[in-house]
A = this chain, B = another copy of it.
Amino acid sequence: MGKIRRIERVAALTKELVDHPYELYSFTDFCKRYDVAKSTLSEDVQAIRNGLAAYDLGIVETLAGAAGGVRFIPCHTKVSDEEFLKALAVRMAEPERILPGGMIYMNDLLLTPKLLLRLGEIIMSRNKGHVPEYVMTVETKGIPLALFVARAYNVPLVMARRESRITEGSAVSINYVSGSTKRIQAMSLPKRALPAEARVLIVDDFMKAGGTAKGLRDLALEVGAEVVGTGFLVATREPEHKMVDDYFSLFVLHGVDDAARTIDIRPN
């Protein structure tokens, strides 16, 4: 290939960094790959850092030392995250979302990559625990959100099932009590999905009493993993006492009034 101009190289470097959040690229590797001197590369990285910061598009971190390098963290300012959630709360409260039984239809939002991308990044930012090595959820509706949290951290997703499947090999199973219905249910995880001592972030779309979340946590502990946090898109205000105590949610659902056709949902 012909000689690449600096401005062209910066475009390529930006794309590589933002596509692989948290991945630490060593300067030496980048210098080889892009055929530039380390001083030149440092200036390029500085320009990318400034450009992304100026438009609130994420943080480029440089780590010094032998094991050092450069990596991209896909986070935004608190103010802009709050604006995004406020606007989303307005959409979530649209009366036509109310379904019989006070449930809310949210599939259109929860299956839109553009929204999921940002929601995944916000859940990442709100997790105050360690950076996880895995994100864990249970089928079905939480999968898309959890997958984009996994994307924000650039780590694999682990998916518990309501029953174990032949295509997933031997599994660890637990029984748990659904917090809302008080029924005993089962949840399983393929044995090879999660190594012992792995750091896990639990993510789900919705929490009411927290029975499922507790089940996920028990399942993670059962295989010897360490739960670094538990995050939800929406948690209900009632019941106030949840079956898990250490969690965060982006929204709190204060109530759905089926008769008045109103949804009271607020960013947290």
Take A12-B51, A54-B12, A143-B144 as given contacts and tell me if A107 and B150 are in contact as well, using a CB distance cutoff of 8 Å: no
**In the complex, what residue of chain B is closest to A97 when comparing beta carbons?**
B169
* Residues A1 and B54 in contact in the complex (CB < 8 Å), given A15-B14, A105-B192: yes
Bound CA–CA A57/B9 (angstroms): 12
A37 at interface, CB cutoff 8 A:
no
CA distance A206 to B168 in the complex (A): 14
Q: A7-B7, A143-B143, A143-B144 are in contact. Are A111 and B158 (CB under 8 A)?
A: yes
A: interface residue count bin: 35 or more
Chain A 1-35, CB-CB to B under 8 Å as 1, else 0, gives 10011111111101110111000000000000000
Chain B residues in 8 Å Cβ range of A16: 55, 57
Q: Is the CB of B111 within 8 A of A140?
A: no
| A147 at interface by CB-CB < 8 Å | yes
List, in ascending order, chain B residues with CB within 8 A of A167's CB.
99, 103-105, 141
Interface check A268, CB cutoff 8 A: no
Docked-complex contact A8 and B50, CB < 8 angstroms: yes
Set of chain B residues within 8 Å of A54, measured between Cβ atoms: 1, 4, 8, 12
In the bound complex, how far is the Cα of B14 from the Cα of A40, in angstroms?
20
Residues of B within 8 A of A140 (CB): 139-140, 143, 159, 161
Interface residues of chain A, those whose CB is within 8 Å of chain B, are: 1, 4-12, 14-16, 18-20, 44, 47-48, 50-52, 54-55, 57-58, 99-101, 103-105, 107-108, 111-114, 116-117, 139-141, 143-144, 147, 150-151, 154-159, 161, 166-169, 190, 192-193
Q: 3 shortest A-B CB distances, which residue pairs?
A: A11-B51, A8-B51, A113-B151
Besides A4-B50, A11-B52, A144-B147, 14 more A-B contacts (Cβ < 8 Å) are A1-B54, A7-B51, A8-B54, A9-B51, A11-B47, A14-B18, A16-B57, A18-B18, A99-B168, A100-B169, A105-B190, A108-B156, A116-B147, A117-B151
